[in-house]
Chains A and B, each alone.
Chain A
């Protein structure tokens, strides 16, 4: 049996979690593995896609969307999340924005041996900012996405979902 077919996080599952949690806008910058999800989101009439050219822009846009009564989701890669530090601080943490960031975990390996410093610093970055996070690797983990949405609303803070399946499900 093909292991990736059984453990993968499918884009359909991610889209289903977005719909279940009432997401209205996805503010995003393509990560290397999100094309299948992009095709699904583009075809979904309940979602509006807001593409950015630098991940930090997603923070202030998400803050404005929330302030105006919408429910944004930020979809970026860990590299861009780290680039967004000041925007995360000022626009999301600073304004108490309850938003979920779905972050592709580039370089992540279960065994911890990675050649990619993007993975090395991802969780350290989140801990430094005091942002809680959940790891999602497969469809079986998908309920954690809903947990993140609930936590964001309850704590009025951004919550991150790290997508550790970056090299399987999002790209099939």
Chain B
């Protein structure tokens, strides 16, 4: 299995000037990014919506690659979103899945059918033209250049090690360095919106 931090570290050199929606990988991505104003580390505005937000960005800005690091809990809450993404066929949309098989922030309870689900198969069935699944970092890293050099939408599932949190929420490390408002303002400014 892959560690989320290693997965994001492997991706970082290929980022170029893409917009990155790091989802639940935000805690690591904020330390890896070299272009924070093109990131949208929103945390968890409402579970199940990261893919929709990233799709909206991709449709609004077809000139920019949009890279999403989604989670399996979010995807399961909005499986129908995969169909919408597949229908829209955004060529600039790269949908990565960080699959730890559980609800890590609530103590590690498994997601439904965690051991027997194949998200890449679901994505392909929803209509994504390309879908991959990785459980080893070396294979993931080797596959990245080809994945990112071809048009989207593409779905890339990665099985990662669960990093379960049991500390009370108030005692957990806050990784967000900006408010959501500021994140959106910075992103829109970087995209030169409203000029």
Decide if the interface of chain B is mainly helix, strand, loop or mixed.
helix
Contact of A96 among B55, B57, B88, B181 (CB under 8 A): B181
**Pairs across A and B, CB under 8 Å, 6 listed:** A50-B88, A59-B52, A67-B184, A86-B46, A90-B45, A96-B184
Contact of A69 among B55, B81, B181, B191 (CB under 8 A): B191
Interface size, chain B (Cβ < 8 Å): 35
Interface string of B41-70 (1 = CB under 8 A from A): 010111111111111111111000000000
B57 touches A64 (CB 8 A): yes
A52 touches B45 (CB 8 A): no
Interface assignment of A7: CB less than 8 Å from any CB of chain B: no
Interface assignment of A11: CB less than 8 Å from any CB of chain B: no
Contact of B57 among A48, A52, A53, A68 (CB under 8 A): A68
B83 touches A61 (CB 8 A): no
Report chain A residues within 8 Å CB of B50.
60
Q: How far is the CB of A53 from chain B (nearest CB, A)?
A: 3
Q: How far is the CB of A46 from chain B (nearest CB, A)?
A: 14
Report chain A residues within 8 Å CB of B48.
56, 60, 87
Q: A63-B52, A64-B52, A64-B60 are in contact. List 8 more A-B contacts (CB 8 A).
A: A60-B51, A64-B54, A67-B57, A69-B61, A72-B56, A87-B46, A94-B180, A95-B184
Interface string of A3-44 (1 = CB under 8 A from B): 000000000000000000000110000000000000000000
